[in-house]
Structures are given as C-alpha cells and as structure tokens.
Amino acid sequence: MNVTLPQRHGIDLTVAAPPSKSFTHRALIAGALARGTSTILHPLASDDTNLTITALRRLGVPVKADAHSVTIEGCDGAFSCPPGTVIDLDNSGTSLRLLASIALLSDHPVTLTGSGRMQERPVGPLADALVALGGRIVFGQEPGFPPVTIGGRLEGGNATIDGSASSQFISSILMAAPYAKRGVTLSVSGTPASQSYLDITAGVMTDFGAVIRREGYRRFEVSNQDHYTGHTYVIEGDYSSASYFFALAAICGGRVTVTGLNPASVQGDRLFPDALQKMGCRVTRAHDGITVTHEGPLSGITIDMSSAPDTVQTLCMVAAMAKTPTVITGIGHLKFKESDRLAGTVRRLRQLGGVANTGSDRIVIQPAPLHGGTIDPANDHRIAMSFAVLGLGIGGVSITGAECVNKSFPGFWDTLAGVME
C-alpha cells in the first residue's frame, strides 16, 4: 500500500485518541495471570496487541476479543502449554520482552522468536536477570538475541538489571514477579530508558492487586503474597498516537483537538503538547481534550525526550519546519526499536532536503527548504506516521508500505483521509 500526501494548510480537526498500546499489552498480561475473569474495555486492536493475545492463547489462557472489549479467563499464575511451544512475535518487541518473564510460569519451556529485525534486538540483560531469578535460558542463534528458549521456574530473590537499552526488561520481570516462589527485589543499574513506561507498568500491576515498593527507578520490591485479581479495566487514550495530530496543527497551520486523553496520565508522551508550546503553538486543555493551535512561525528548541521516545520522530518533523535549530537529547535507545530510529530519521529527512545530524544520544535538525520525495519506512510504523504528517506540510511525499501503521494505529490513514481530500 502506497500513500501520497498532498500539501495542506489551515487544518481544523477534532479526533478521538486511539487506545494506548502500552496499557493494552500490560492489562492483557495482568488479566491472563490473574485469578478470575478480566474484561479489558476500549483495548487497542492492532497487530502488536493481537500478537500478545495470540501468545497468551498459546500459553493456555482463554481469551475472547471483539471490537470493544477483551475477556480473559486468568490462569492464576500457572500457564499450561504443550512441550516444544514456539511463539512467533513477528516485530512486536513489547510482546516478546514482556512475555519472556511470564514464560517462567509455564509448565514447559517456551521458545520466543520473531522477524529478522526482532532477532537483531537485544534481550541479553533481561536473560541475565532471569537466570539470577531461577530461569534457564538458551539462545537459538546469537547469544543475547532472539530466538530464545525460556525454561526453569521463577524462584524469586534478588537480581540486578541494566535497563539502559530498554525499560521493557524491567517491566517484564516486574509483571511476573507476584507469582515468584519468593518475593522479588530488582535493582536497576544505569539510567533506565523511557522511565515513564515503568510508571505505566507499576500502575497496571497495582490496579490488578499487586503490591510494589520502589525507590524511584532504582529499586523495586514486589510481594509474592499479593496476586492479580481479575476485574474490569478501561484502557486510556494514547498520547503517542495523538502526537501526530497535534503535529499536524503545528506543521500545516490551523487547529487540532484530540479527545479521550487522561490529563493525569503517567504516559511520558503527554509532554508532547508542551514541546509544541515551547516552539510557538498555543495549547489549551479542557475536560474533553487538548487543543493545539498554530500561532505563527515555529522556533526550534533544545529538549530531553528520554521519557517520551515514541514522539521523538513526530517532534523531528515539526523541527524540520522550524526557523531555528532543534536539539533532541536522551534518545540513544531509539537505535534498538523496530529500526534504528536515530539514523533512519536523519537519512529520510535528508531525502526531503532536510539538514539533520545524529550523535550517540541526540538528533540536531537545522532549518532547510524541504521538497517532496518517496519515503520507505522499512516496516517501522512510527516512521510512516511521522513522515506522513510532514508530507502534508510540504506536499508530494509518498509513503510506501504504508500498511505498517497497523502495528500500533490501524485507523491512522482513515483518520487522515478527511485532511487529504
């Protein structure tokens, strides 16, 4: 599927935020581990979350899904699957990493694998911590990378983990920890990437009945006496997906309102409208949504985006339209996403006439006249969506393989259709 973006000015749009992918993954796993029935309302139905649902079914958990809800009959921390079970998570890093720890709760070893790119994404730090907690880990090809076979039992105790490449390593262990034979104390070395996602994990766990004590992002203690309890859980709107529409107002001019966002959310990407405000947009918040209004020329900013990784590329698109340089820091871990998002963003901006450079943990974007061109997102959904927004600002930009947005936002192109007409 190829999509060509026409140039548009003066946007006036109101959209509802799609459900959060991060909350959906975690609620599905907590519900699967819980005692009793859970109903997940307003879940995100996407390629990634469907992979998590399929994996839970392979682990023996009954899951029924429709357009509005998911019903899960929890296993109370004891999965049952046949010997030799192999679960292909395709390109969903979140699914594979979060499932890695709970695989220790299965009655047989489980092999987790995925796409070619998935097999380039590291899981070594997570595997080392799981071994310390009782796991037996065998890598099928290259040590530290999928495919990986996970056996043994989650004994619990103390472990140390390096979360600098991904906070999902930490989240994975925390989500399984209530079912360890002993309580789990997890110490974190280095500075965890995307710290706000650990707040999401802790929040979902607590909502399902787990008990966690923590020292910031450095130390977590999880009780094994307080298991998850099935209940009804409502998924909140996603700030990451909302960012594309906020950016539309900044890039194309006009006004965009996104409804269905929790003003008290712990999502790190909730800071994206504030970044646009610093660049010169007007941001207003009401009980029914957030509105971003273009107020004139955009100015570049210097900003640390370490806790808002999924909106970095969106901000890069706005920065490419600004009158002064932008420096985005704290983003070295983006090299390990669905693609190397640091190098990939710079390379594609240059294809459209942009001036951008990358360092070990930063992107610097300079003002430059932009032009149309063809962008191949290489199956990275966030590249496709962010460059689509920029394409509407400059016109003549074609996105190839545009269906990759189904990974996190299947309705993206339908939502943009009214703007593109």
93-102 as b/e: b if 16+ CB within 10 A: bbbbbbbbbb
Same domain, 29 and 13: no
Largest interatomic CA distance in the chain: 62
pLDDT beyond 90 at 334? no
3-state helix, strand, coil in the chain (%, to 5): 35, 25, 35
Q: How many domains does the chain have?
A: 2
- Tell me, rounded to whole angstroms, the distance of Cα 354 from its chain centroid: 27
Name the token pair of 129.
């911590």
Same domain, 295 and 149: no
* Mean pLDDT across 297-305: 95
Determine the length of the chain.
421
Amino acid letter, 189: S
pLDDT beyond 80 at 333? no
Q: How confident is the model at residue 306 (pLDDT cuts 50, 70, 90)?
A: confident
Same domain, 305 and 406: yes
Query: Which run of H or of E encompasses 132?
Result: helix 124-132
* Mean pLDDT across 190-218: 93
pLDDT beyond 70 at 338? no
* Mean pLDDT across 177-185: 98
Same domain, 34 and 182: yes
* Mean pLDDT across 330-349: 77
Name the token pair of 355.
């001036």
Specify the 3-state DSSP secondary structure of 9.
coil
pTM score, whole prediction: 0.93
- 90 annotated active-site: no
> pLDDT at position 420, please?
83
Catalytic choice (310, 340, 376, 414): 310
pLDDT per residue over 369-380, tens digit each?
Answer: 999 999 999 999
**pLDDT above 90 as % of the chain:** 88
Q: 211, 228, 245: which is the final residue of a domain?
A: 228
* Mean pLDDT across 126-153: 97
> pLDDT at position 219, please?
96
Same domain, 281 and 262: yes
Name the token pair of 417.
């259709």
pLDDT beyond 70 at 156? yes
Question: What residue numbers bound the domain in which 264 lies?
Answer: 3-18+237-420
| Residues whose CB is less than 8 angstroms from the CB of residue 216 and which lie 6 or more positions away in sequence, other chains included | none
Same domain, 192 and 174: yes
Same domain, 355 and 296: yes
Same domain, 222 and 259: no
Q: How confident is the model at residue 62 (pLDDT cuts 50, 70, 90)?
A: very high
